[in-house]
Amino acid sequence: MTTETVTWLTQDAYDRLKAELDQLSGPGRVELARKIEAAREEGDLKENGGYHAAKEEQGKQEARIRQLNELLRHAKVGEPPANDGAVHPGSIVTIRFADGDTERFLLGSREVEMGDLEVYSEKSPLGSAILDHKIGDVCAYELPNGRKVEVSIVDVEPFTG
């Protein structure tokens, strides 16, 4: 697996997402099919708000199922990254901005809930800029407005749960 396709998840996050997938693709699909069928029986589909709402909900649910399948297919579960001073998915990273402010966050899937610790995707502009860099390296990334931001990597530690 390459760094671009791996999503690092804790076992708890994996279990929670797997349970959501199982619910949506099993009982969730059955329940939505019932809603659609009940709305269809109400008559004219062109003016049937309940039918259109259920079909829209079905589309959103199917998109979420695809997203979860893809995420879990590429998940690396429960294995903290190497403690080699480099930034990897699953690392807790402390960076310093040019103005001296620091920020500490987990580099991983935004699906992982970490309480007070912010989570940044390794695919985000900041995440991809610091990925595989080491303590002391200065990296730059571009904000949506086009402005470049430089950060230096202050500390890297593997997340152990």
Whether the per-residue pLDDT at 148 is higher than 50: the answer is yes
Residue 131 · residue 87 · CB < 8 Å = yes
Q: Which structural domains are found in the chain, ordered by start?
A: 7-77 (1.10.287.180), 91-158 (3.10.50.30)
pLDDT in tens, 21-75: 999 999 999 999 998 888 888 877 777 888 888 889 999 999 999 989 988 888 8
The sign of the torsion formed by the CA atoms of 158, 107, 131, 126 equals: negative
Pairing of strands 91-97, 148-158: antiparallel
CA–CA separation, 86 and 27 (whole Å): 43
DSSP state of 159: -
Query: In the numeric block, which tokens belong to residue 150?
Result: 């430089």
